[in-house]
A and B are shown apart, each in its own frame.
Chain A
Amino acid sequence: MTIEVEFVGPLRRPWPERQRTVELAEGTLLGELLGAWGYREEEARHLSCSVNGVAARLRTPLADGDRLSVALLLGGG
């Protein structure tokens, strides 16, 4: 299955561009995907993720055609 991924803000990314289409195994959990990108669990739980416009948690399973957004709260002001 494939999903669309978008990183929002100055986040560590597994590739240079902000958006990419990613191929995954069926039933992959969001937390597993973030882990594969190098985010430890204690880091991943600080991210704000949404799938198709709905807030997602690390246990959320991903499905073919999903659109995933990953954001991090900005501290500067």
Chain B
Amino acid sequence: MSLEETDRYARQRRLAVFGEDGQARLRSATVLVVGCGGLGGLAAELLVRAGVGRLRLVDPDRVSLVNLHRQILFSEEDAAAHRPKAQSAGERLRRLNSEVQVEAREERLEVGNVRHLLEGVSVVVDGSDNLETRYLLNDACLERGCPWVYGGAVGTTGMTVALGLPGGPCLRCLFPEPAPPNLCPSCVEVGVLGSLPALVASLQVSQALRILVGDLRPGPLLCCDVWEESFRRLPAHRAPDCPACGAGRRDFLGPSSTERGEPG
């Protein structure tokens, strides 16, 4: 470890929960961040600042003005030029920490590329904007034995849980099937408070860092409402009758699986 690197992470390495070798573990890790909007953008920035070895970022969308109130990686210039999010994010992230290998891909995570995107990945942070991607990610991570950290944010409500940890639940233990759109409002329909994704992404990154330094204990389904100033810890246990991690089905990795996201 170089002297410069030692200094950069001094406050982080001092943390008792990080341990002596926590920084070295981060440096050897590869993290996949799916989406670089409200959740994924801040998550990517915090992970790069924390000093992960390699950050792989995937997002197919372009920056628009409606993104700017919550998507911290982007500027008015990015929106005016309608730049690819992955490209703008990659440039900013490389300026924040040149020691991190940032691999930004302008593509959508889907059945055809998910296995390739997961190669060499230690943990996945979910910043996607639709349920189909999450169910696909769940199947692919189960197949590879890779933990992932779900995050969701709509209106003033956020939710996060670490999934695929030893003895812990997968997404389908908690939510067996994707909910129909009429049951699950989107940010386009009900809006989203700008401060909410930052809170949820911070919680996700904390969980991801904990996993990367070797703490693999499953946690709760953490729900918050930033307007009501409330936090709830709901149980998140492995379900014996889970169709995915229990019965071994990979319904969303099938050749007919598709995903339909909406612009962030």
Interface, chain A (partner B; CB < 8 A): 6, 8-10, 12, 18, 42-43, 45-48, 50, 53-55, 57, 69, 71-77
Contact = CB atoms under 8 A, between A and B. Distances in A.
Given A10-B157, A75-B130, A46 B152 contact: no
Nearest to A73: B175
Interface of B: 35, 37-40, 126-131, 134, 151-155, 157-159, 171, 173-180, 183-187, 190, 192, 197, 221, 223, 228, 232, 234-235, 237, 239, 241, 264
B151 A50 contact: no
B179 A77 contact: no
B153 A12 contact: no
A74 B159 contact: yes
Contacts of B37: 77
Contact of B154 (A10, A12, A57, A71): A10
Given A46-B180, A48-B175, A76 B223 contact: no
A46 B154 contact: no
A55 B234 CA distance: 9
A9 B127 CA distance: 18
Contacts of A54: 235, 237
B127 A72 contact: no
B158 A74 contact: yes
Contacts of A45: 176-177
Contacts of B241: 57
Given A72-B184, A76-B153, A77-B39, 6 more contacts: A8-B232, A45-B176, A45-B177, A54-B237, A71-B159, A74-B153
B251 to A, nearest CB: 15
- Which of A9, A43, A53, A69 lies at the interface centre, i.e. has the most chain B CB atoms within 10 A of its CB? A9
Contact of B183 (A8, A12, A48, A76): A12
A8 B232 CA distance: 8
B204 to A, nearest CB: 10
Contacts of A9: 154, 157, 159, 223
A45 B179 CA distance: 9
- Which of A45, A47, A72 lies at the interface centre, i.e. has the most chain B CB atoms within 10 A of its CB? A72
B183 A75 contact: no
A54 B221 CA distance: 12
A69 B222 CA distance: 13
A51 B175 CA distance: 15
Contacts of B151: 77
Contact of A76 (B177, B192, B228): B192
B129 A69 contact: no
A75 B157 contact: no
A49 B54 CA distance: 37
Contacts of A48: 174-175, 221, 234
Contact of B126 (A46, A69, A77): A77
